[in-house]
Amino acid sequence: MDKRLFAILAVFFVQVIYGLNYTFAKVLMNDHFVPPFALVILRVAGATVLFWACSFFLPQEKIEKRDFFKFFIAAIFGVVINMLLFLKGLELTTPINASVIVTITPIIILILSSFFLHEKITKLKVIGVLLGFCGGILLTALGTSTRVGDNLPLGNLMVFINVISYSIYIILIKKLTNKYHPFTFIKWLFLFGFFMVLPFGYSEFSEIQWQTFTPYVWFSVLFVVVGATFGTYLLNPL
């Protein structure tokens, strides 16, 4: 398969998974099955295990010592800030609001790439970004929040900061993903990220009532961990 076509398909599937993730994650948090920071631990721990397990079946790459610090910094923006603020923000806002805010991610990446990586902003890139953004605006115009207790301004702000953090992460990893296989890079990213998110979510995680989980709740957890975390982080570097 053509590399460019494969990359386009990867981006398409990532966006589909993200779209479904808003609903599944929202159910887990707002129906009080898994609090947001506990869900972060589930996501990061599950993805860490999956990436490390898969990596044992692939050729082992030697990592330059200086790159471990880069992995650590990438984990701060791509795992810690990104996930903690996104899920807490999603708890407070609506899935539609969050999805619209996330549509500006390509815009931020485009701007940062131009400044820091000196990439040219082409007309095709601008048109693609604007089409995605307009689609997001249409969705938010048609959607409303009916939940009592939503703190939309705070939730929206958290999701917006999440977008900035994730965009910085994408810029940081560009050279690393050209240098290492995605599994090599991401397994270390999540290992560092796990130890950093653990203090934030340990208390909430210990309070999860596992015996109350229905089959749908278990499916939602699996989707958020395997699909929206393992799958999307694997496809994004491609």
> Along the 238 residues of the chain, how does pLDDT read in single tens digits?
566 677 777 777 877 888 788 889 988 998 889 999 999 999 999 999 999 999 888 888 999 999 999 999 999 999 999 999 999 999 998 887 888 788 778 777 777 877 766 667 676 666 666 665 665 555 555 555 555 447 888 998 999 999 999 999 988 888 888 899 888 889 999 999 999 999 999 999 999 999 999 999 999 999 999 999 998 888 876 5
What is the four-CA torsion angle of 8, 24, 167, 174, rounded to 10 degrees? Answer: -50
Sorted by sequence, the CB contacts under 8 Å of residue 20 that are 6+ apart come out as 223, 227, 228
Burial of 210 per CB tally in 10 Å (0-12, 13-18, 19+): exposed
